[in-house]
């Protein structure tokens, strides 16, 4: 079955710098790759997603890139701010009738 690996487990960056979190997936049939942000004591919230027919997607300071050949996708956050501190999860799905497979999560710490 599908397996999603996420790195690093913890990432500490200086405020204003960029942060990059990477995920790899095992099933080449996967076609949907969302990223979720989870703040302490809350449920995850979608921040950006990408489908397999697109190589890159950007939304203000957040971008996601997908390399289908290498089976990996990355989250890029530029000009980081204190409110970006949270746990970020990547996930992958084969399609509508399949569940999301989650990465282990990355704790992002923004240092003032």
- Contact residues toward another protein (CB under 8 A) are 31-32, 34, 36, 41-46, 49, 51, 89, 93-100, 102-105, 107
CA distance 89 to 34: 8
Q: How far is the CB of 62 from another protein (least distance, A)?
A: 15
CB 99 within 8 A of CB 2: no
Q: Least distance to another protein from the beta carbon of 90, Å?
A: 10
CA nearest neighbour of 4 among 107, 92, 98, 95: 92
Report yes or no: 23 and 42 within 8 Å, Cβ to Cβ.
no
Closest contact distance (angstroms) between CB of 12 and another protein is 15
Nearest residue (CB) to another protein, 7 versus 32? 32
Which residue number, 69 or 99, has a Cβ lying nearer to another protein? 99
Q: Which CB sits closer to another protein, 65 or 106?
A: 106
The pair of three-digit structure tokens given for residue 26, joined into one six-digit string:
């095992």
Closer residue to another protein (CB): 2 or 20: 2
- Joined tokens for residue 29: 């049939």
């Amino acid at each position: 079955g599908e397996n999603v690996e996420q790195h690093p487990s913890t990432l500490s960056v200086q405020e204003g710098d960029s942060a990059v979190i990477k995920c790899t997936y095992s099933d080449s049939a996967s076609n949907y790759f969302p990223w979720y942000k989870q703040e302490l004591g809350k449920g995850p919230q979608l921040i950006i997603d990408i489908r397999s027919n697109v190589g890159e997607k950007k939304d203000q300071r957040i971008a996601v890139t997908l390399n289908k050949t290498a089976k990996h996708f990355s989250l890029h956050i530029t000009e980081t701010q204190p409110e970006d501190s949270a746990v970020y999860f990547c996930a992958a799905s084969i399609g509508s009738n399949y569940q999301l497979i989650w990465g282990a999560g990355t704790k992002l710490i923004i240092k003032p």
